Amino acid sequence: MKVLITGFDPFGGESINPALEAVMALPDKIDTIEVIKLEIPTVFGKSLAKIKAAIELHQPDIVISVGQAGGRFGITPERIAINVDDARIKDNEGNEPVDVKVADHGPAAYFSNLPIKAMTQAMIKAGIPASVSNSAGTFVCNHVMYGVLHMIHTEFPTIRGGFIHVPYIPAQVTAKPNMPSMSQTDITKGLALCIQAAATHTEDLHIAAGAIC
């Protein structure tokens, strides 16, 4: 079993991205699962191109992308991605698409085909705050989630994939009063539990990567 897990570089004026830090701190192997870690740019288009190249190279069974969601209190596996790029800020190369489709001929949305409920419960049982999210936003995180699921539907039908958002880490909130955070250690632990759950649970995949037309 191979899992490709990606984390974005810092963006939006931050000097660190907790998603990338937590991903890179994962072990290379979890039980019998090979963990392939990949840094991707917070850039529309280029992020997906880098993931596609890694899929073709490594041929993973599962692709999990991880992004920062400042303001969230826990780790949040995403249920759905929508076919729209609508940036509130510029990406790391100055792109700021507004009301643009991720895939011109793609459906309105895709559901994750990861076992998001099992992933969430595994984290909660381990004492890590977690919940299912029903919105991946409209920035590069949603762009990547939708784009990967579109690849799965059109090019890589045997792969399962989805997205997880993580909170800020404490170093990012020292000048952000009342903003929640989580230690990078706990985020990494949560991601490892998500990988294990994704590799072993299938019971809540009844809408597996289904498209919403």
Q: Which residues of 187-206 are buried (b: 16+ CB within 10 A; e: fewer)?
A: bbbbbbbbbbbbbebeebbe
**Does residue 194 sit in helix, strand or coil?**
helix
pLDDT computed for residue 162 by the predictor: 98
| Under 8 Å between Cβ of 122 and 191 | no
Between CA 43 and CA 211, with CA 39 as vertex, the angle to 5 degrees is: 65
CATH for 45: 3.40.630.20
141 given a catalytic annotation: yes
Going by C-alpha positions, the residue among 41, 42, 29, 39 that lies closest to residue 3 is 29
**Does residue 104 sit in helix, strand or coil?**
coil
194 given a catalytic annotation: no
pLDDT computed for residue 201 by the predictor: 83
Could you give the C-alpha distances from 189 to 67, 94, 102, 185, in angstroms and in order?
15, 33, 31, 6
pLDDT computed for residue 7 by the predictor: 98
pLDDT computed for residue 77 by the predictor: 98
Catalytic: which of 21, 141, 143, 150? 141
78 given a catalytic annotation: yes
| Structural domain that includes position 111 | 2-212
pTM: 0.95
Q: If the chain, 213 residues long, is cut into consecutive pieces of 10 residues, what is the mean pLDDT of each piece?
A: 97 95 98 97 98 98 98 98 97 98 97 97 98 98 98 97 98 94 98 97 53 61
Catalytic: which of 21, 78, 143, 150? 78
Domain count, the chain: 1
Catalytic: which of 21, 143, 150, 165? 165
